[in-house]
Structure 1
Amino acid sequence: MPSDPKPTDARVESLLARMTLEEKVGQLGVFADMVRPFAPDVNPDANVHNAAEVLEQVRAGGVGALFNGVGAAQGLEIQRVAVEESRLGIPVLLAADVIHGMRTVFPIPLGEAASFEPALAERTARATAVEATAAGIHWTYAPAVDIARDQRWGRGAEGAGEDTFLGCAFAAARVRGFQGQDLRAADSLLATPKHFVGYGAVAAGMDYNYVEIAEGTLRDVHLPPFEAALDAGALAVMTAFNDINGVPASANHALLTGVLREQWRFPGVVVSDYTADMELVAHGYAEDDRDATRRAFLAGMDMSMQSGFYAAHLPALVESGEVPMAALDAAVRRVLSLKAAIGLLDDPYRSLDPAREADTSHLAAHEALARDAARRSIVLLRNEGELLPLRRDARIALVGPFARDTDNIEGCWTLFGDKSRYVTLESGIRAALPDDAVLEVVDGCALEAPMEGGIEAAVAAARRAGVVLLAVGEPQRYSGEAQSRTRIVLPPAQQALAEAVAATGTPVVVLLRNGRALALEGAVRDAQAILVTWFLGSQTGHAVADVVFGDYSPSGRLPVSFPHDSGQQPFFYNHPRTGRPETPAMSEFKARWREYPNTALYPFGHGLGYSRIEYGATCVDAPAMAWDGRVVVRATVRNAGDRVAEEVVQLYVHDRVGSRVRPVRELKGFRKLRLQPGEAREVVFELSRAQLAFTCADGSRGAEPGTFDVWIAPSSATGEPARFELLPP
């Protein structure tokens, strides 16, 4: 866990001693930044105050933080009012939803997780922090670290997928990237892992829905990425909208105080999601606004976002004794300590430099990083007959509603992207061709509707071409917050286009644009080649062209399982074993659906490159591991092809017998290797008892002696296991 952010700072105690009750409560309020609004339509209910009213609130000491405003010059004015015109001169935290890029947009977090390179995420988060802090932002409401096991839930696009081990690695990397080496530096961006907790487990994948979850699953699957983020130095956490087993997360004392404060010794600030305290009334958990305020605050929620409930009701609750003054002081102390930790008490005008905001010297480097991050995020699912990479002299038909689209490049939760720098598929493909006369571009249909003459034009272009690049997928607004889907398939108009184009017999490469795993159907599922291109951000066109023409061999792997059908959801590779497992020996009475086996169309960890990779047998150095010892697992991985390859080597474990039924496999390690043609390398992993631990049937956490299977494999559904035994103490 991180150390307490200056808990004994004399300035904090001095301020606290001089504050009125109303000023203390004011530090706990987070409100929309209407002084410099950038995206007023994101939360339209927030936009009821004009700039003058917000500045008056600041002047009166009634604002702890403002969010989703941007601009250094007006930020200076906000801070000047806070420092020079308020009674105590306490600066305001300036926050924003900066999720996967600022002016330069990087791949959606789910796409970037497909790189299996946490170091890459750290670099893109660092670049994001440089741009965001230059625009007058101190604090981002990211990263989202929710584990999403149901692809119907739209907010899976904001996280790292279905696996906890991978999620922990990316959570920590993004925190390190946002915050940098020094929280007080002008380019350090305060990170906020969210949404605490269990948001990715909403019933039926419906956003904001209830969560019924076993304690062991909560602790083994959903809590660890938060702990990893806090261990990496995060000093703020955002609460979730959902309830957990009947108790709303934003008023859940067992989690906000019991886990965060008492178990993990978290010293930082807990901030609500947007009006989450207000929603306690709608939940039926609080009787009225006053009761909602009391419950949220006493549970451990320090800062209230936008509802205004704390300002309206906390003073009276403290005066009546229902909320102890000591509890209020503790929350205010955490907020002030956070401001001290990032240097605001020393320099209230930190990260508010108009000259730095105007400086564009970083753009070339950030665009190069965006291009590299995008191509490393692309996953090659299928490549029949080695259709890819394409020759540059091939006659190409680029068909589909995303071919020249600029409105569906960035992905969800991108408020500040510089759209003038977005590279479309058409632009990227044309730029990669020595003679772009070989390229014909046809939309074929709109994103959700047929286009008059569109299919006919697409079919004609396909017949003239030697290969079709079929650019289809989800519209951008299909994923993200409040974008749950019952059927995770392509819009019918796009599917009809795909069927018509495929019927020409011209080979098809699908360029799939998506914010979740999709259930692929018909001509899209059966295309000769399929590239998952997610929402890749500013450099989309160049990155896709790099992969299509072989300038970069795809190295991404799926962070989510692609199902055969939407009805398989929730589906995740690391499900518990059943008493009737999916086995060939039983034809019917086993864990399956009538229509499909209990398998993925493309499993977690799957992905191809342009070379052929061979795995040797998984070996363990000893048949048994002492209780306090380690076991070494190794395998030889060889590039048997004639191209350079980057291979994601994955380590999986299965505990054969446990006091709670164990998952069929669990990721416990991964490594990305760059292999020259013909090169073989031995890959070695070490496992300790700590990596075998889980929440046992009695509620304790630990490993249990017994037999384990272990795989070194290219995906969660391949390879033959070795075996070892964990000896008792």
Structure 2
Amino acid sequence: MTTSPIETKAMQLLSKMTLDEKLGQLSQTCGAGGHIPQYLVEGIQKGRVSSVINEVDLATVNELQRIAKEESRLGIPLLIGRDVIHGFKTIFPIPLGQAAAWSPELVEKGARIAALESARAGVNWTFAPMIDIARDPRWGRIAESLGEDPFLCSQLGVAMVKGFQSDDLSTNGAIAACAKHFVGYGASESGRDYNTTNIPENELRNVHLQPFYFAAKSGVASFMSSFSDLNGVPASGNQWLLKQILRDEWQYKGLVVSDWESIKELKVHGLSASDKDSARLAAKAGIDIEMQSTCYIDNMKALIDESKIQESEIDSLVLNVLQTKFALGLFDQAYTDLSTLPAYLNHEHLSAAKEAAQKSCVLLQNQSRNGASPILPLNKNDTKRIAVIGPLANDGYEQLGTWVFDGEEQHSISCLSGLKEIVNEGTEIKFEPVFASSRDKDTQQFEKALSITEQADVAILFLGEESILSGEAHCRSNIDLPGAQNELIEYLSQSSTPIVLVILAGRPLTIQPIVNKIDSILYAWHPGTMGGIAIAEILFGDACPSGKLPVTFPRVVGQVPIYYAQKNSGRPAAEWSYVHIDDVPQRAPQTSLGMAATHLDTHFTPLYSFGFGLSYAEFAYHDVNISDNKIVIGESFSVTLKVENKSEIDADEIVQLYIRDLVGSVTRPVKELKGFQRVYVKAKSIVNVNFELHTDDLAFYDINNKLNVEAGDFLLGVGKDSSLELNVAFELIN
């Protein structure tokens, strides 16, 4: 096997290193926020620090790099890490919101801008994308995810990696990406962060590992091991996961970092008896850098002396770190020159953030309570008086969303500001926040809110969750609108004034109780810096909503987990078998009511399906055809159709292709997304859409957990969302 130039350089440097210096390359520590304490100076001088995280003062970062380059024996530069999750200064929608745009191009652009802006602060490594499959909206980190579907998540995750890293990691403004959290973290029991995950290997391979595989193949610079216990073995000490799958099966050559103190926490899990044993387990599993805690640097010498770890094993870990630093070009240019990078919050960056916010908004409902025509889009000439209600209408901070460390609220265009900017001169806007926060239960301002609603041509409610209610460690057992928001909607619904509800949130909420109390619902997630103007333009028809849900919305929390790619079961739910609790007679004889996979107290369908989203335009699908209904395994095939825009509005439509493998060596989902395209269709026109697939796209991990394409019968369908009918039959043959 030939050795790459970067590997050769790393090996030459490794040969010069003392054991202390090697252990230093496995150590990451936290910055001190704009100053450099003496212990950090000394640690870098002695080669005992490889990476510094959470330091974004450029002068400080450049000085840290100077100390590393000029005052340490070997002059090895530092990795400067930061959570740059959905923007740095220009904040984009939360990742779950970006996923709702179903646009790899948009996601890549957002990550590129985040890289350029964070690079101005000296950052060269981000801990994103988070590509955990998230099927439990109680889990706070669903906000940071790209949704419930492995195919969509894989496509968008790869796009985010490319945006951060560009085509060459050494390019000015490129930063190393990190695929996290490897793996299964999104399946934490009861939606509680850091909790146990139990995932059968077949499901792990067919669902949760898929986005990580594609990230690895795309050249992502690093992986992060999960906090969580996976099937009894915490990920940061899991040799099967990190060595057998990641290194041996996938041949991944990049860097692996632990999550924050997750090596030290192996002892808390009960996998190890001491920090020394935690260090041994993590090193044996292949963790290259220990984030924040010091198990490696404190214990590795003793482990080597006791022959529990070989120095050659340490060399392998260090080599991965050094190669990453060489790939980033840090040995040639460790310092940041502001003149070579674009300014923060420049016009191009803000324009991209606005586009992302706009395309991420999902129109869930648009029907008048009195049976008249849809409320949205609002007519500027007819709308003279607007009631703006809710605490999130004028809050530039909360709209930024979770895990934003560097964005600043003063740069946000709030929803209220966006409305004021877009309405006609002379239009009256009356604003009443009602609540001090989204959690407020005080009803004292309800009467005032009703009064301005009744005097208005339309009431626009900006409700949902504060940013702190989603994200890491912000899990909820009840995912209704918090506080007294449901009560407010109920109170205002007595007015005949049309009510538009805009929801800003970090997760799907259970909004079934209020859908019939209002006319229109626009789900805006936490939309970022430009959210206010993006939303205002949608409300008034200057832009057409085009987002589609990247995650299923349950009717009630008791349905969780609910996702579109479920298994059929032996007794699938159906309308003919559905029995509601209110229809069960008293003292009914003991029997299996309905004899199907349903709940007695709610319908078996979700409130809104994966892929769902309305438009101001009206689309129709025609002539869905497959190139051949008998396809030889190993060959390509195409699916063609026509999408018609029957309306007078130019608009985007997200065309979705699903398949079902009817019989497999293991049971297969009732539907699987296998393709999507965002297409622009002018008013009163038709576009041709073509999907090119290969039988490899239908491969899955079989009964032996081997990736395989099995011959047999399939169904296919193309349409607006996952509730579509699969009505095109085809067969794979050997």
Q: Which amino acid aligns with 1:497?
A: L
Give secondary structure in 2 for the equivalent of 1:9.
helix
Contact 1:35 1:52 in 2 (8 A): no
Change in CA separation of 1:591 and 1:671 when aligned onto 2, cut-off 3 Å: same
Q: How does 1:612-627 map to 2 (within 5 A)?
A: 612-627=618-633
Which deviations, in whole Å up to 9, do the C-alpha atoms of 1:577-622 show, x marking residues without a partner?
Answer: 1111112232322111112222111100000111111112533232
Which deviations, in whole Å up to 9, do the C-alpha atoms of 1:295-354 show, x marking residues without a partner?
Answer: 0111111110111111101111122211111110111111111111111112232xx225
Q: Which residue does 2:254 correspond to in 1?
A: 268
> What is the alpha-carbon distance in structure 2 between the residues aligned to residue 173 and residue 361 of structure 1?
22
Change in CA separation of 1:67 and 1:4 when aligned onto 2, cut-off 3 Å: farther
Q: How does 1:201-280 map to 2 (within 5 A)?
A: 201-280=187-266
TM superposition shift of 1:682: 2.5
> What is the alpha-carbon distance in structure 2 between the residues aligned to residue 392 and residue 525 of structure 1?
25
Which deviations, in whole Å up to 9, do the C-alpha atoms of 1:538-592 show, x marking residues without a partner?
Answer: 0011010111011110110000011111111111110111111112232322111
> What is the alpha-carbon distance in structure 2 between the residues aligned to residue 706 and residue 76 of structure 1?
60
Change in CA separation of 1:269 and 1:499 when aligned onto 2, cut-off 3 Å: same
Is 1:423 paired with 2:413? yes
> What is the alpha-carbon distance in structure 2 between the residues aligned to residue 266 and residue 659 of structure 1?
29
Change in CA separation of 1:462 and 1:341 when aligned onto 2, cut-off 3 Å: same
- Select 1:392's aligned residue among 358, 371, 380: 380
Q: Which residue does 2:655 correspond to in 1?
A: 649
Q: Which residue does 1:403 correspond to in 2?
A: 393
Q: Which residue does 2:68 correspond to in 1?
A: 82
Is 1:432 paired with 2:416? no
Which deviations, in whole Å up to 9, do the C-alpha atoms of 1:194-235 show, x marking residues without a partner?
Answer: 000010111111111111111111111111111111222212
- Select 1:374's aligned residue among 357, 372, 381: 357
Q: Which residue does 2:583 correspond to in 1?
A: none
Give secondary structure in 1 for the equivalent of 2:400.
coil
Contact 1:153 1:483 in 2 (8 A): yes
Change in CA separation of 1:488 and 1:442 when aligned onto 2, cut-off 3 Å: same
Q: Which residue does 1:364 correspond to in 2?
A: 347
| Worse-matched range after superposition: 581-590 or 277-286 | 581-590
Give secondary structure in 1 for the equivalent of 2:430.
strand
Change in CA separation of 1:5 and 1:257 when aligned onto 2, cut-off 3 Å: farther
- Select 2:108's aligned residue among 107, 119, 122: 122
Change in CA separation of 1:250 and 1:525 when aligned onto 2, cut-off 3 Å: farther
- CA-based RMSD of the aligned residues comes to 1.6
Contact 2:659 2:726 in 1 (8 A): no
Which deviations, in whole Å up to 9, do the C-alpha atoms of 1:253-292 show, x marking residues without a partner?
Answer: 0111111111111111100000000110110000111101
- Select 1:134's aligned residue among 77, 100, 120: 120
Is 1:679 paired with 2:685? yes
Contact 2:397 2:408 in 1 (8 A): no
Which deviations, in whole Å up to 9, do the C-alpha atoms of 1:168-209 show, x marking residues without a partner?
Answer: 001100000001122112201110010000101111111111
Change in CA separation of 1:285 and 1:251 when aligned onto 2, cut-off 3 Å: same
> What is the alpha-carbon distance in structure 2 between the residues aligned to residue 56 and residue 683 of structure 1?
61
Contact 2:397 2:412 in 1 (8 A): no
TM superposition shift of 1:99: 0.6
> What is the alpha-carbon distance in structure 2 between the residues aligned to residue 57 and residue 85 of structure 1?
11
Q: Which residue does 1:508 correspond to in 2?
A: 499
TM superposition shift of 1:444: 1.5
Q: Which amino acid aligns with 1:499?
A: E
TM superposition shift of 1:355: 4.6
Contact 1:6 1:337 in 2 (8 A): no
TM superposition shift of 1:123: 0.4
Contact 2:396 2:529 in 1 (8 A): no
Is 1:545 paired with 2:536? yes
TM superposition shift of 1:413: 0.9
Q: Which amino acid aligns with 2:378?
A: L
Is 1:342 paired with 2:331? no
Q: Which amino acid aligns with 2:236?
A: S
> Structure 2: 5+ residue runs without aligned partners?
368-372, 579-593
State the number of aligned residues.
710
Q: Which residue does 2:610 correspond to in 1?
A: 604
Q: How does 1:155-194 map to 2 (within 5 A)?
A: 155-194=141-180
What TM-score comes out, normalization by structure 2 length?
Answer: 0.94
Change in CA separation of 1:683 and 1:26 when aligned onto 2, cut-off 3 Å: same
Q: Which residue does 1:494 correspond to in 2?
A: 485
Give secondary structure in 2 for the equivalent of 1:167.
helix
Q: Which residue does 1:556 correspond to in 2?
A: 547
Change in CA separation of 1:670 and 1:452 when aligned onto 2, cut-off 3 Å: closer
TM superposition shift of 1:686: 2.9
Give secondary structure in 2 for the equivalent of 1:250.
helix
TM superposition shift of 1:720: 4.6
Change in CA separation of 1:4 and 1:163 when aligned onto 2, cut-off 3 Å: farther
Give secondary structure in 1 for the equivalent of 2:387.
strand
Give secondary structure in 1 for the equivalent of 2:655.
strand
Q: Which amino acid aligns with 2:346?
A: L
Change in CA separation of 1:641 and 1:498 when aligned onto 2, cut-off 3 Å: same
Is 1:579 paired with 2:570? yes
Is 1:100 paired with 2:100? no
Give secondary structure in 1 for the equivalent of 2:431.
strand
Contact 2:493 2:517 in 1 (8 A): no
TM superposition shift of 1:375: 0.3
Q: Which amino acid aligns with 2:22?
A: K
Change in CA separation of 1:115 and 1:296 when aligned onto 2, cut-off 3 Å: same
Q: Which amino acid aligns with 1:701?
A: L
What TM-score comes out, normalization by structure 1 length?
Answer: 0.95
> What is the alpha-carbon distance in structure 1 between the residues aligned to residue 30 and residue 516 of structure 2?
44
Contact 1:445 1:455 in 2 (8 A): no
Q: How does 1:60-75 map to 2 (within 5 A)?
A: 60-75=46-61
Contact 2:415 2:531 in 1 (8 A): yes
Change in CA separation of 1:580 and 1:617 when aligned onto 2, cut-off 3 Å: farther
Q: Which residue does 1:17 correspond to in 2?
A: 15
Is 1:323 paired with 2:305? no
Contact 1:179 1:188 in 2 (8 A): yes
Change in CA separation of 1:426 and 1:712 when aligned onto 2, cut-off 3 Å: same
Q: Which residue does 1:638 correspond to in 2?
A: 644
Which deviations, in whole Å up to 9, do the C-alpha atoms of 1:74-128 show, x marking residues without a partner?
Answer: 1111111111111221111111111110011000010001000011000010011
TM superposition shift of 1:652: 0.1
- Select 2:31's aligned residue among 30, 33, 37: 33
Q: Which residue does 1:532 correspond to in 2?
A: 523
> Structure 1: 5+ residue runs without aligned partners?
38-49
Q: Which amino acid aligns with 1:368?
A: S
TM superposition shift of 1:526: 4.2
Change in CA separation of 1:4 and 1:341 when aligned onto 2, cut-off 3 Å: farther
Contact 1:705 1:726 in 2 (8 A): yes
Change in CA separation of 1:87 and 1:694 when aligned onto 2, cut-off 3 Å: same
- Select 2:444's aligned residue among 453, 469, 494: 453
TM superposition shift of 1:459: 0.5
Is 1:441 paired with 2:431? yes
TM superposition shift of 1:496: 1.2
Contact 2:565 2:669 in 1 (8 A): yes
Is 1:721 paired with 2:727? yes
Is 1:712 paired with 2:718? yes
